[in-house]
Amino acid sequence: MANTRTRQIIGIILMAAGWGWAGANFTPSDSQWWNYLLHAIPILLLLVLSLGFFSVSGDHERARTNGGWANVGLSIFAGISFIGYIVGIILGVINPSSQYGISTTGDWVAAVMLILGGFVWLTTLVPVHRDNAEIRTANR
């Protein structure tokens, strides 16, 4: 199983790909300039939070203490992305003709990337405790 830092990086990459896809997919071609800007906000927010996360050097424990604001921000961002796209899937199933909801193949690609990215990031928040016997065996 990948270590926590690796899973966090995988989560960030999946969320960036998903939000990039969603920004292009969910913005109609005849939209006003503000609609493009509105759809760019999540990817810009992810970029700023990721810069704070990646600017921390050293091992994961040190990164968690030094880059706390970035970890907290990315956790909130991942949670909102995860929940938002689950709601989008539900709304797409309930009312497929609605303006909001996951209904096309392009919508599904973005939704799957964002849900997986958010899920992978959020799994890093669950503390993992190894059994004492396993640790003693590994130390021998």
In a domain, 134, yes or no: no
Is residue 66 very low, low, confident or very high in pLDDT (cuts 50, 70, 90)? Answer: very low
pTM of the entire structure? 0.77
In a domain, 72, yes or no: yes
Mean pLDDT within 115-130: 86
Mean pLDDT within 9-34: 84
In a domain, 41, yes or no: yes
d(CA 37, CA 34): 5
∠ CA 104-107-111, rounded to 5°: 140
- The pLDDT of residue 4 is 85
| Rg of the chain over all Cα atoms, to the nearest angstrom | 18
In a domain, 45, yes or no: yes
Evaluate if residue 70 carries a pLDDT over 90.
no
Q: Answer with the residue of higher pLDDT: 43 or 127.
A: 43
Evaluate if residue 8 carries a pLDDT over 60.
yes
Closest CA to 127 of 1, 4, 2, 6: 4
Residue 12 CA neighbour count, 13 Å, CB half: 21
In a domain, 140, yes or no: no
Number of structural domains found in the chain:
1
In a domain, 42, yes or no: yes
Residue 78 CA neighbour count, 13 Å, CB half: 27
On the 0-12 / 13-18 / 19+ scale of CB atoms within 10 A, 41 is: exposed
In a domain, 132, yes or no: no
- The pLDDT of residue 65 is 45
Mean pLDDT within 64-85: 84
Is residue 121 very low, low, confident or very high in pLDDT (cuts 50, 70, 90)? Answer: very high
In a domain, 139, yes or no: no
- Supply the range of the domain harboring residue 56: 4-127
Q: Answer with the residue of higher pLDDT: 27 or 61.
A: 27
Closest CA to 85 of 113, 55, 62, 45: 113
